[in-house]
Amino acid sequence: MNRFLIVLSVIAFATPAYSAVGDAGRGKQVFESLKCGTCHSIAGAGGKTAPDLALNRARGNTPAGLSAAMWNHAPQMWAAMEKAGMAKPKVTSEQAADLFAFFQSARYFEKPGDAARGKAAFTAKGCSGCHTAGKTASGPALAAWESASDPIELARQMWNHAPAMKAAIAAKGAKIPTLTALEMNDIIAYVNSLPGAKPQAKFSPASAETGETLLKVKGCTSCHRGARALPGKTAYTASAEIAAAMWNHAAGVKHSGQMRPEEMRRIVGYLWSRQFDNEGGDAKRGEKTYAQKGCAGCHGSSAPYFAHGEESSSYGMVAVLWHHGPQILRQMKAKNVAWPSFTGPDIVDIVAFLKASK
Ligand code: HEC
Ligand code: HEC
Ligand code: HEC
Ligand code: HEC
């Protein structure tokens, strides 16, 4: 075989260019196949012995926090699976990405909003001038908002109709108001609180590769480059952040035309994916945690790397958990060592450590 080809394929395996983006629909199937519903309910349906992971219950968690939550109660999860007569499955990083997208669709990463505050902001920002609870000539009824069930559609709508609002407000001699992410989040909480509302249940970003291209095509990179390059400092897990940013662009900067659903799915896919490339961990701290939590007990001081194609991210830690967690558990029991319990920051530190020791 050609040596050049070997080198190429090694590079292709060693450095996946983008983190997976996942899909909420597929993630729901992963959730079901892992029997999470034995204990957890979703919107009331399912087991009752664990917190409802229902739609529209914002928690403000991080992806690493989700990864940690799964590690922490893994022995419980596996016991439930054994009781149900199931073998413990392996979970790939891609499946973990799907699971994370499913949690995103259930607003797990969103900060809790306040409907009353949202209603007040809705009036203060002039939204109620065109939008009312019932259908009007100038806008759909709030409870019928497609965008309340789909954060990508919300971002698109906020981008698309800001110019019209800017014009309507300018005609009255006023300036378009900006929105903070907190206000956006509260407004969604308000819309979701109305009778007949369709709470968020979707999240299907498109591939990060095509999203990166689109940032150029749409002229985003004319401003967002160098120190301003996207992703910026925002945590893109919070959809409200992106939606508010899309709206605010129309207030100040050049608007590069209406966006089609597919286009916003690509842009959000890129932003969502990039947050997993560097979750901000500290390798030195990770090394300490790795020793403290008993990982080094088997592995020695030299760390393993993500050996089964797992991503070096919170996704990868979910894959590692399902890949060799049962084995860790057996040996820890035999040595009378407690099962490791992690915080979100512990997870990103360990990821940084494993990444650095590659
Ligand atoms: C044996 C029952 C059981 C199974 C099976 C189970 N869980 Fe849990 N889960 C719990 C309990 C109990 C808690 C709350 C106590 C705790 O945190 O340990 C919890 C907490 C959580 C939390 C944190 C909840 C919050 O309020 O933020 C997440 C996330 C979670 N589980 C995800 C999962 C996923 C994903 C699966 C499937 C892979 C799963 N769980 C399977 C019992 C279970
Ligand atoms: C000048 C009138 C006007 C104002 C003011 C206005 N909107 Fe709209 N809005 C519209 C119209 C018209 C549509 C329908 C656009 C379409 O279908 O393309 C719309 C659609 C929307 C949608 C998408 C609804 C769906 O079906 O999913 C959202 C979200 C939205 N507006 C949010 C807001 C927010 C938040 C504010 C205040 C910051 C606001 N709008 C202010 C006219 C307005
Ligand atoms: C004319 C310049 C300009 C263009 C074009 C532009 N932006 Fe921005 N964008 C800004 C500025 C200024 C901010 C505010 C930055 C800050 O708060 O530090 C911002 C903020 C953002 C943010 C949130 C802040 C962050 O750093 O995370 C996002 C997301 C974003 N822009 C996406 C886009 C996308 C997507 C496009 C193309 C459709 C785009 N921008 C086009 C100037 C621009
Ligand atoms: C009981 C001994 C033991 C403990 C404790 C242990 N591991 Fe492992 N680990 C293994 C073995 C054995 C393998 C090789 C598994 C294989 O190849 O199937 C492995 C493989 C790995 C891999 C390579 C990827 C993979 O999925 O196989 C990673 C990453 C890893 N371990 C991380 C950790 C972390 C982080 C901890 C601490 C939470 C830990 N390990 C604790 C025994 C252990």
Residue-level pLDDT at 56: 55
In angstroms, the Cα distances linking 296 to 56, 143, 165 are 39, 53, 58
In this predicted structure, the answer to whether residue 1 has a pLDDT above a threshold of 50 is no
* Interval 182-209 mean pLDDT: 90
Distance 321 CA to ligand 1 centre (A): 14
Q: Give dist(CA 158, CA 98) in Å, integer.
A: 26
Distance 251 CA to ligand 3 centre (A): 12
Contact by Cβ (8 Å): 84, 38? yes
Q: Residue 161: left (phi > 0), alpha (psi -120 to 50), or beta?
A: alpha
* Interval 123-129 mean pLDDT: 88
Cβ contacts of residue 290 below 8 Å, gap of 6+? 296, 303, 350, 353
Domain chopping of the chain, boundaries: 21-104, 115-274, 283-356
Q: Which ligand ends up closest to the CA of 233?
A: 3
In this predicted structure, the answer to whether residue 137 has a pLDDT above a threshold of 50 is yes
In this predicted structure, the answer to whether residue 39 has a pLDDT above a threshold of 80 is yes
Contact by Cβ (8 Å): 281, 349? yes
The residue whose C-alpha atom lies closest to atom 3 belonging to ligand 2 is: 130
Q: What is the pLDDT of residues 96-116, one digit of tens each?
A: 999 999 999 888 888 889 999
Q: Which ligand ends up closest to the CA of 268?
A: 3
* Interval 256-262 mean pLDDT: 87
Pocket test for ligand 4, best of 288, 321, 328, 350 (most atoms within 8 A of CB): 328
DSSP state of 180: -
* Interval 77-91 mean pLDDT: 89
Highest mean pLDDT among 50-59, 121-130, 344-353: 344-353
Residue-level pLDDT at 12: 41
Instruction: Provide, rounded to the nearest whole percent, the portion of the chain with pLDDT above 70.
Output: 90
Distance 100 CA to ligand 4 centre (A): 22
Short-list 100, 82, 27, CA closest to 74: 82
Buried b (16+ CB within 10 A) or exposed e, 219-243: ebeeeeeeeeebbeeeebbbbbbbb
Residue-level pLDDT at 7: 44
Lowest mean pLDDT among 62-66, 164-168, 324-328: 164-168
Displacement of CA 212 from its chain's centroid (Å):
18
* Interval 345-356 mean pLDDT: 93
pLDDT band at 267 (very low <50, low <70, confident <90, very high): very high
* Interval 185-204 mean pLDDT: 89
Q: Give dist(CA 282, CA 353) in Å, integer.
A: 7
Residue-level pLDDT at 234: 62
Kindly give the number of the ligand 2 atom that is closest to the alpha carbon of 177: 38
Residue-level pLDDT at 14: 43
Cβ contacts of residue 317 below 8 Å, gap of 6+? 64, 67, 71, 310, 347, 350, 351
pLDDT: is 7 or 151 the higher one?
A: 151
Q: Give dist(CA 162, CA 122) in Å, integer.
A: 14
pLDDT: is 209 or 54 the higher one?
A: 209
Helix ranges (DSSP H) in 150-217: 151-171, 181-193, 208-217
- Can you give the pTM of this predicted structure? 0.91
In this predicted structure, the answer to whether residue 122 has a pLDDT above a threshold of 50 is yes
Kindly give the number of the ligand 3 atom that is closest to the alpha carbon of 231: 27
Residue-level pLDDT at 136: 67
The mean pLDDT of the chain is 85
Residue-level pLDDT at 289: 95
In this predicted structure, the answer to whether residue 10 has a pLDDT above a threshold of 50 is no
pLDDT: is 196 or 286 the higher one?
A: 286
